[in-house]
């Protein structure tokens, strides 16, 4: 994805914490990061449109590869949170680390759904 003619990356559309900046969300015409993902998210819509417009399937395959990389990164992030937990993931209060784990798991599920939906379009 491009923002002002350059690939979106840390320092250009992605902040130092790894979050998309508002300008990138605007490119996708979404308000939140979560709207991009899932079986009916913007990512799948974009790929579906590209296929309908007879775009090259290599780009679709590249998007699948990128999603696989995002899932690997998410797994890595989840391991970092797990290492910081003092409750070992069993707290009843839902500490910040358990809450973050739950958010990562939810987003991982949505990204995986997007990837499967895109694979189904090929």
Q: Mind listing the pLDDT tens digit for each residue in 18-67?
A: 778 888 888 888 888 888 888 888 888 888 877 777 666 777 788 888 88
Q: What are phi and psi of 14, to 5 degrees?
A: -125, 130
Please check whether residues 43 and 74 belong to one and the same domain: yes
Which residues share a beta bridge with 12? 9
Please check whether residues 27 and 46 belong to one and the same domain: no
Residue 5 has pLDDT above 80, yes or no: no
Please check whether residues 26 and 48 belong to one and the same domain: no
What integer pLDDT is reported at residue 27 of this predicted model? 82
Please check whether residues 117 and 61 belong to one and the same domain: yes
- Report yes or no on whether pTM surpasses 0.75: no
Could you give the 3-state DSSP secondary structure of residue 16? coil
Q: How far apart are the first and last CA of the chain?
A: 20
Please check whether residues 6 and 63 belong to one and the same domain: no
Number of structural domains found in the chain: 2
Burial profile 64-88: b = 16 or more Cβ within 10 angstroms, e = fewer: beebeebeeebeebbeebeeebeee
Residue 103 has pLDDT above 80, yes or no: yes
Q: Which residue has the higher pLDDT, 37 or 91?
A: 37
Please check whether residues 55 and 69 belong to one and the same domain: yes
Range of the domain at 11: 1-31
């Amino acid at each position: 994805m491009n923002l002002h003619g350059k690939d979106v990356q840390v320092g250009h559309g992605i902040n130092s914490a790894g979050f998309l900046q508002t300008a990138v969300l605007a490119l996708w015409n979404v308000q939140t990061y979560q709207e991009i993902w899932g079986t009916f998210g913007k990512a799948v819509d974009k790929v579906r449109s590209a296929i309908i417009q007879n775009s090259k399937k290599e780009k679709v395959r590249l998007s699948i590869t990128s999603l696989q990389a995002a899932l690997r990164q998410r797994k890595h992030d989840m391991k970092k949170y797990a290492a910081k937990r003092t409750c070992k993931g069993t707290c009843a209060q839902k500490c910040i680390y358990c809450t973050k784990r739950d958010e990562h798991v939810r987003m991982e599920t949505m990204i995986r759904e997007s990837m499967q939906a895109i694979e189904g379009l090929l």
